[in-house]
Structure 1
Amino acid sequence: MSFIIGVFAVIFDSAKRVLLCHRTDMDLWNLPSGAMEEGETPWVAVVREVEEEVGLVIEVERLLGIYSRPDQNEVAFGFLCGVVGGSLRCSDEADSIEYFEIDQIPRNTNHEQVEALQDAAKQELQATLRLQTEPSPREVYFGKLC
């Protein structure tokens, strides 16, 4: 049995809009995110993933929460991050990148990450621990996984 350990970044601009990227493999917006690689810590993985996916250099400000999907052996670490360099650019994973007002997030945004955005918007200093039981974005988009 293998586990997937994911990471994602919540990045706000000076107007408190959140950065989302549109995936190239499905019609879905999400936070810059990805999977940890062997030998990485979650906080190093999120910095790497954001730079690879959208071209920004970030620093982790704090852990937002840990999100678990035990039915698919997945756990994701969400981090509040700030931009310290780089510039926005599309990649093999993201064909569009935009900042959105929290109340104007596209309808086709990863619903699991919308939960994380709601957690981040609360601006509580305590990290959230959340069991995610709704169908995953892949299940919603592609149908029930075998």
Structure 2
Amino acid sequence: MAPPIHPPTHRVAVSAVIINDAGQVLVSRRVDNGWFNLPGGGVEPNESIPEGLIREVREETSLEIEIGRLVGVYSKPQKHEVVLTFEARVIDGTPQPSDEADYHTWIDHEALDTIKILPKHRERIEDAFHMGPAAVLRDQRAPSISTDKGE
């Protein structure tokens, strides 16, 4: 008898739309491809969603954050991944370069056209500013760019 076929599991990832008191969002420039994105990454086994988000933001920016509302759930079936994006605010620290992100900047969300930002991350930022208090569910199936890493 053949072993049962199990559907592929989905990786759970998190990202943070960190907003300062001036209403600007923090974006980080990736070392590997030069594109700006939101801090975040994969949730580790035996780690909660909040623990994963706090860890990823700390690793990439050296910031301590307080997690706010859920902005959206972003399905990426081509990568077998689901990304949960949350609003957050800084409770301690100043953004510092890391192995993954060599530069961080605060930017008005209306000025996102002035930087090279991953389109899927831009969509998440726009959702945070324009979709109201309810979370969104979006299919982010199509690849953003050919060097689309770490989204």
**What TM-score, normalized by structure 2, do the two folds share?**
0.86
Aligned equivalents of 2:76 and 2:131: distance in 1?
24
Distance 2:144 2:43 in 1: 19
Question: Hey, what does 1:61 align to over in structure 2?
Answer: 68
Secondary structure, in 3 states, of the residue corresponding to 1:109?
Answer: coil
Q: How does 1:33-72 map to 2 (within 5 A)?
A: 33-72=40-79
Question: Please, what is the CA RMSD of the aligned residues?
Answer: 1.5
SS state of the match for residue 147, structure 2?
Answer: helix
Residue 129 of structure 2 corresponds to residue 118 of structure 1 = no
Q: Which amino acid aligns with 1:17?
A: Q
Q: Which structure has the larger Rg?
A: 2
Partner of 2:4: none
Comparing 105-114 with 93-102, which one deviates more in the overlay?
Answer: 105-114
SS at match of 2:142: coil
Q: How far apart are residue 81 of structure 1 and its match?
A: 0.5
Q: Distance in 1 between matches of 2:87 and 2:126?
A: 12
Residues 35-86 of structure 1 deviation map (CA, whole Å, 9 limit, x = unaligned): 1111112121111111110011001111111100112201100000111112
Gaps of 5+ in 1: none
The CA distance in 2 between the partners of 1:82 and 1:101, in whole Å, is: 15
> Does residue 109 in structure 1 map to residue 117 in structure 2?
yes
Report the identity percentage.
34
Distance 1:62 1:44 in 2: 15
Deviates more, 1:32-41 or 1:104-113: 104-113
Do residues 134 (structure 1) and 138 (structure 2) align?
no
In 1, the alpha carbon distance for the partners of 2:19 and 2:111 equals: 14
Structure 1 residue 3 displacement after superposition: 2.9
Determine which of 100, 108, 112 is the counterpart of 2:107.
100
Matched to 1:134, the amino acid is A
Q: Report the Cα offset of residue 123 of structure 1.
A: 5.3
Q: Measure, in 2, the Cα distance between the counterparts of 1:95 and 1:115.
A: 22
Look up the match of 2:95: 88
TM-score of the superposition, structure 1-length normalised? 0.89
